[in-house]
């Protein structure tokens, strides 16, 4: 099922105003993106509104414009990576994102293949090149395609679309 998110992200002096304009498809709860009740911006995550019949904007004030810009960049990164990242197939010899634990940060590595799921007592099935040597490999529990689903930006309007 396709999904789409459209936000208006407006910057003012020491203030960021974000309005959710559209939400279609299924969004999963992730570290920084949630879909509960009302639309709201928090320091460490954004809460999208599932039913946007009563559209509203939310604002956050900052001590300076640099903090505002940093938060806006994080917001776009969270949505891009956590909701629209990983679109595509893992390809041998191409960069991918990997991690060992659900709440760990994603690391960028070169994908080299996948172990058989028949290997006993093995959670880490995805293989990447080692940083030490191209002839050594590292196994990971989670892997996804390097994010290529960047938002379309038209002035203050950010639109994400994906599967």
pLDDT at 128 over 70: yes
Segments making up each domain of the chain, as ranges: 3-86+149-162, 95-145
Question: For all residues of the chain together, what is the average pLDDT?
Answer: 87
Task: Write out pLDDT tens, residues 30-51.
Answer: 889 998 878 899 999 999 998 7
Phi/psi-derived region of residue 123, left when phi > 0, alpha when psi is between -120 and 50, beta in every other case: alpha
Please check the confidence at residue 85 and state whether its pLDDT lies above 80: no
Inter-residue contact 148 to 97 (CB < 8 Å): no
The predicted structure's pLDDT at residue 88: 66
Highest mean pLDDT among 52-66, 74-88, 134-148: 52-66
Residue 87: what pLDDT? 58
Q: For residue 161, report the phi and psi dihedrals to the nearest 5 degrees.
A: -140, 140
């Amino acid at each position: 099922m396709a999904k789409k998110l459209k936000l208006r992200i407006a910057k003012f002096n020491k203030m960021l105003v974000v309005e959710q304009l559209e939400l279609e498809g299924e969004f999963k709860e992730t570290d920084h993106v949630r879909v509960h009740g009302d639309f709201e911006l928090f320091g460490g995550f954004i809460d999208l509104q599932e039913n946007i019949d009563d559209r509203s904007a939310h604002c956050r004030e900052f001590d300076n414009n640099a903090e505002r810009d940093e938060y806006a960049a994080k917001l776009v990164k969270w949505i891009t990576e956590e909701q629209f990242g990983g679109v595509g197939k893992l390809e041998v010899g191409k960069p991918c994102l990997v991690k060992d634990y659900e709440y760990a940060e994603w690391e960028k590595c070169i994908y080299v293949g996948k172990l058989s799921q028949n290997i006993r007592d093995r959670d880490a099935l995805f293989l990447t090149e080692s940083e030490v040597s191209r002839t050594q490999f590292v196994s990971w529990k989670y892997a996804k395609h390097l994010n290529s689903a960047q938002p379309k930006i038209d002035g203050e309007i950010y639109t994400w679309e994906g599967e």
